[in-house]
Amino acid sequence: MADTVGSTILVLNGPNLNLLGAREPDVYGTTTLEDIKSAVTEYANTLGMQVDFRQSNTEGELVDWVQSANQTASAVIINAGAYTHTSIAILDALLACGLPVIEVHLSNIFRREEFRHHSYTSQAATGIICGFGAQGYLLALDAAKVTLARP
Ligand code: DQA
């Protein structure tokens, strides 16, 4: 039987990312989250991986998903949206899950308002990809693959 846990990447999206496409297109582009999901799913398949792609506006739901991530996935890609800058609860869940974590942001958070320069979730991340728009999710899949291949 194929090892689906070993090749499944959990891709989590936080608050307001459901509005991508319509939300501040000058900052986040016009690609919708559905478009990103399709591109990520397709690219993952070319890498021999599956994705479990989710979005929630609720901090607790994101925490629940991270808590159970190690039962179904081998790595987590997370764009926690504004919770990036506020959520010790999501940070703690990421630290506890024991999986490689790749943090993604569509925008370059370091070129924006000062309150976006600090990321709690980064403290649990293997690495961060930001500023490349929707393409960042595909770069994150490459990063997950490289990270999982490390001895
Ligand atoms: C974001 C950056 C965050 O500061 C913001 O709150 C978001 C989106 C990004 O993808 O660029 O919701 O995570």
CATH of the domain at 34: 3.40.50.9100
Flag whether 137 is in a domain: yes
Count structural domains, the chain.
1
Taking the alpha carbons of 118, 26, 103, 65 in that order, is the dihedral positive or negative?
Answer: positive
Instruction: Tokens for 61, please give them.
Output: 């739901």
Ligand 1: does its nearest atom lie under 6 Å from the Cβ of 105?
yes
The number of beta carbons lying within 10 Å of the beta carbon of residue 105 is 24
Flag whether 120 is in a domain: yes
Residue-number span of the structural domain to which 145 is assigned: 8-149
Flag whether 82 is in a domain: yes
Q: Do 150 and 126 meet the contact criterion of CB atoms below 8 Å apart?
A: no
pLDDT reported for residue 1: 41
Flag whether 58 is in a domain: yes
- pLDDT mean by block of 10 residues, the chain; 151 residues: 75 98 93 98 97 98 98 97 98 98 98 97 98 98 95 80
Q: Which of 77, 106, 111, 137 has most ligand 1 atoms within 8 Å of its beta carbon, as the pocket-test mutant?
A: 106
Flag whether 128 is in a domain: yes
Q: What is the 3-state secondary structure (H, E, C) of 81-145?
A: HHHHHCCHHHHHHHHHHCCCEEEEECCCHHHCCHHHCCCCHHHHCCEEEECCCCHHHHHHHHHHH
- Catalytic residue, chosen from 28, 83, 120, 137, is 28
Flag whether 1 is in a domain: no
pLDDT reported for residue 48: 95
Ligand 1: does its nearest atom lie under 6 Å from the Cβ of 116?
yes
